[in-house]
Amino acid sequence: MSPRAAVLLAVAVLAAGCTADDPGGTSAASSPVPSAPAASSTASAPPPTAPAAPVQPLAGHVVVLDPGHQLGNARFPSQVNRRVDAGGFDKACNTTGTSTDDGYPEATFTWQVAVEVRRRLRALGARVVLTRDDNSADDWGPCIDERGRVGNPGEPGPTADVRISLHADGNRSSTAHGFHVIRPGERAGWTDDVVAPSERLAVALRDALVGAGFTPSTYLGEDGIDVRTDLGTLNHSDVPVVMVELGNMRDDRDASVMESDAGRRRYARAVVTAVRGFLGV
């Protein structure tokens, strides 16, 4: 072999050794370095937030609503006319109530308003007790003494923070229009413990009704508030209490509001406003 051929052979051997561990034909130095995994294009979403609990400012409070009369009272004269203790004197257990000129009964009106007030108060967290369970032509009562004791300390059921008796008047005077709130007057041994807070409740309800656009009575009370000592529902109460004649059913203007869904919702909103104002919530 000539010297030139030997040199060429040695070069060829060296070239083959450079690729022995690189069957793909690229050297380790020239192979690409694996890159770090790319970060996710979107960050992990935070866990869903639980919906906020509804605001219930009246949680823990108890309200008694007394929808006046009962639709069937007129069918049970012996029961309704029975004499009961009205606060140290006797009165009839109950009465039939009044109606509008076209026959819409007071018992139905007060029931419908009470149910709407109950719905709104419950939504605010209050516990609501009604003094009757339905509005039925096949039922009567309860009597005024029993109604007045519902929610009292020591009576069955929860003790109330406030009691509101819902009524409507039937005055036939052509000028009798508007609402009036009745609060208990001083009656020794009966109302002494509730007169002062009941006066505050009466003012709160009067102001709420005025704020809702209702007119104070043109024929009873003073500036929408009357004081009485002859009502068993008030005399038997040992918690702050008022009775409200929401309007005069014999007045066409009042009657048109009472007979409408929108009107009853206005009354209900005012009652709820009064309860919240009185309780400071």
Active site residues: 245
Rounded distance between C-alpha atoms, residue 106 and residue 171, angstroms: 13
Q: Which of 245, 153, 171 is nearest to 202 (CA)?
A: 245
How far apart (Å, rounded) are the C-alpha atoms in residues 164 and 213? 20
Burial of 10 (0-12, 13-18, 19+ CB in 10 A): exposed
The single residue listed with the structure tokens 């919702």 is 265
Q: Which regions of the chain does DSSP assign to beta strands (E)?
A: 62-67, 83-85, 90-92, 127-130, 162-169, 180-184, 225-228, 241-248
The answer to whether the beta carbons of residues 113 and 64 sit under 8 Å apart is no
Q: How far apart are CA 212 and CA 152, in angstroms?
A: 30
User: What single string gives the DSSP state of each residue in 166-230?
Assistant: EEEE----TT--SBEEEEE---TTTTTTTHHHHHHHHHHHHHHHHHTTPPBPSSSSBTTEEEES-
Rounded to whole angstroms, the Cα distance separating 165 from 157 reads 18
Spatial separation of the C-alpha atoms in residues 115 and 130, rounded to whole Å: 9
**Intra-chain end-to-end CA distance of the chain, in Å:** 115
